[in-house]
Amino acid sequence: MSVSAPCEICGSADVSETCNRCAKLVCDRHFNEETGYCVECAAEIGSTTSDTVPEQADMPDGVDTYEF
């Protein structure tokens, strides 16, 4: 299935996934495969499947791994 829309987060044309929560079209870098969500949703719900954090870390909202 080919999509012509760019990633709704970074604007990259390299879109390969659709968020299962908000239906955003996102590129590989902004798709969390563990949850099936875009990174925004994954950050919002607070991932329970990613790396186990022994103690509650003080993480800023929406800023997870933003590499470019």
> Contact at 8 Å (CB) between 34 and 15?
no
Taking residues 7 to 36 in sequence order and writing x for each that binds Zn ion by CB under 5 A, - otherwise, the string is x-xx-x------x-xx-x--x--x------
Minimum CB–partner distance for residue 62 and Zn ion (Å): 12
First to last CA, the chain: 26
Our finding on whether 39 is near Zn ion (CB under 5 A) is no
CA dist., res. 64 & res. 44, Å (int):
10
Residue count of the chain, please give it. 68
What does the binding site for Zn ion look like in residue numbers (CB under 5 A)? Answer: 7, 9-10, 12, 19, 21-22, 24, 27, 30, 37-38, 41
